[in-house]
Amino acid sequence: MILPQLQNLVQIDQDISNDAYGVRYDQRTVKELLNYGLILLDKPPGPTSHETVAWAKRILKLPKIGHSGTLDPQVSGVLPLGLGEATKALGVLLMGPKEYYGLGRLHSEPNKEKLNSILKSFIGEIYQKPPQRSAVLRQTRTRKIYELEVVEQKERLLLLRVLCEAGTYIRKLYYDIGEILGPGATMVELRRSRVHQFHEDQLVTLHEVAEAFATWEEKNDDSKLKKIILPIEFALTEIKSVIIRDSAVDALCHGAQLAIPGILQLSSNIKKGDLVGIYTQKGEVVALAESMMSTEEIKDAVKGYAFQTRRIIMAPNTYPKSWRTKPKTEQ
């Protein structure tokens, strides 16, 4: 199994990976996955996202779990959970689109032609002000609606599919549609069906997580849990990639910037300013970094810093130290 972002890379240099340390991302043990894993949870309606994460912590007996993209209590659907160090990679999922299925009630039955015309006007960039009961500052901001279609309409009930930018308020979208229609509209029910590249057909429930964890603990059978917990690298398949030498890994884990001599392979279309994933030769994500040069510039250069580290994911000392600190000069 090879992740999409680790295919078709431009080779800069060669190196031999040492099997004495590190582990292939797709060969992690359950204990390793519990620190570098991803669960695509089907959040039930009722609890807050924070409560859902708290339940997952108790089930998996982990001190650290994070989620990507808060869902209101009554909203169900895709809630990606990062386990342990994997929480640091979840921000990448906010870069992609989200899909919702929302059921709303129109305060009067509209003319279909007028309704379709109004819905078309909401495709593209729109202005939104977060609802009064919101976790963010209530300032007007822009968000993009990529697709907006009527799935079904029965009298005043309207089921919409919305593909939009992260941070779009679907409840407010229904309210605004109702304001333009005239009589108003209210959202009744909402489900998130997609976060970036992850769709709802990949989801698992908290009950399934609990059963799989109990099976592993009580019977030493990890088959169910390994199907549920994905390597965190799966969250990064939509961004460009760089593979580095084993000797450069620990320096990055301690906050160093990635210099050109440490690079072995990289995506062919990297541009300055791109966010990329930095990987070991075994496919383990080390960090997220911002490119300071393009692929062509990196290929032609022999020294200098090519990437600025933005988020360290791998724990220090996972790979052996191959760098030295400068001795302090005497005063």
List residues with catalytic annotation: 72
Query: Using CA atoms in the order 157, 163, 169, 173, what is the torsion angle rounded to 10 degrees?
Result: -40
Q: Which two tokens stand for residue 191?
A: 């489900």
Q: For 211, how many CA atoms within 13 A lie in the half-sphere containing its CB?
A: 9
Q: Are strands 141-154 and 124-128 parallel, antiparallel or unpaired?
A: antiparallel
- The Cα-based distances of 192 to 167, 204, 211, 309 in angstroms read 12, 14, 24, 32
| Helices of type H across the chain | 30-33, 49-60, 112-121, 170-181, 206-219, 223-228, 246-253, 295-300
* Amino acid, single-letter form, for residue 305: Y
- The Cα-based distances of 238 to 39, 181, 286 in angstroms read 17, 38, 16
The single residue listed with the structure tokens 């822009």 is 142
For 77-99, give the secondary structure using H, E and C.
EEEEEEEEHHHHHHHHHHHCCEE
- The Cα-based distances of 73 to 49, 53, 78, 94 in angstroms read 7, 12, 13, 20
Distance (Å, whole) CA 127 – CA 151: 24
